[in-house]
Structure 1
Amino acid sequence: MDITTSQAGPALVITVNDSRIDAAVAIEFKEAVRTEAEAAGNPVILDLSKVTFLDSSGLGAVVAAMKLLAPERRLELAGLTAPVAKVFRLTRMDSVFTIHQQAPGALKAAG
């Protein structure tokens, strides 16, 4: 699982650089997020802007990552692509997570 981290003010931004979070990588994803989240920052923002496919195992891994951080830290999501946003909307998980259009600092990084 290819992920990177950065700081955006008080937030820790974890960017998923793979295009899929599915059953094949769900456990690896959860472990990678847990390891990276040991760095300081609250909230933890999961940047999914490069993820184009998320299945139920992937969704479960995102929820498990949220539970690993709670209650001391919040897990928020950013940059959901249309197919990933649809999964969150259909499962009503969009009401559980704070979802940002893009990750903090995304415009600076692109410029």
Structure 2
Amino acid sequence: MSLTSTATETTKIITVHAARIDAAMAIQFKEDMRTQAADGPARVILDLSAVEFIDSSGLGAIVASMKQLGSGRKLDLAGLTPTVDKVFRLTRMDTVFNLFASLDDAIATEVG
């Protein structure tokens, strides 16, 4: 699993460089997210634009990553492909996360 991150004063952007977040990758994803998001601004944007498939394990790993951030920090999701977006909406996770069509949309929106 390859994740990279950049940070501004108000936001840390973590980009996923993998086509899948599934059972085979979920544990590594959580560890990599913990490392990438260990410190930094209160808002974290997870750029999922390269992810074409996510299963329940991947969804659970993203939820676990949100919980690892702790109180006072927020995880927003950006660049969801139609298939990934559908998984988040069918599981009602769109009520837990702010979903943005693109990374640019997420960056342009200040979320309180």
For 1:42 and 1:72, how far apart are their aligned partners in 2? Answer: 6
- Deviations along 1:64-106, whole A, 9 cap, x unmatched? 0011113121011000000000000100001110112212499
Q: Counterparts in 2 of 1:80-95, with a 5 A limit?
A: 80-95=80-95
Instruction: Provide structure 2 residue ranges, at least 5 long, that are not aligned to the other structure.
Output: 107-112
Secondary structure of the residue aligned to 2:103 is coil
CA RMSD across the alignment: 1.8
Match of 1:14?
A: 14
Secondary structure of the residue aligned to 2:71 is coil
For 1:6 and 1:50, how far apart are their aligned partners in 2? Answer: 17
Q: 1:48 is matched by which residue type in structure 2?
A: L
Which TM-score applies when normalising by structure 2? 0.89
Which TM-score applies when normalising by structure 1? 0.89
Instruction: Provide structure 1 residue ranges, at least 5 long, that are not aligned to the other structure.
Output: 107-111
Q: 1:47 offset after TM fit, Å?
A: 0.4
Count of aligned pairs between the two proteins: 107
**2-11 or 25-34, which moves further after superposition?**
2-11
> Do the aligned partners of 1:12 and 1:39 also contact (CA within 8 Å) in 2?
no
Relative distance call for 1:15 and 1:36 in structure 2 (3 A) is same
- Runs of 4+ residues over 2 Å off in structure 1: none
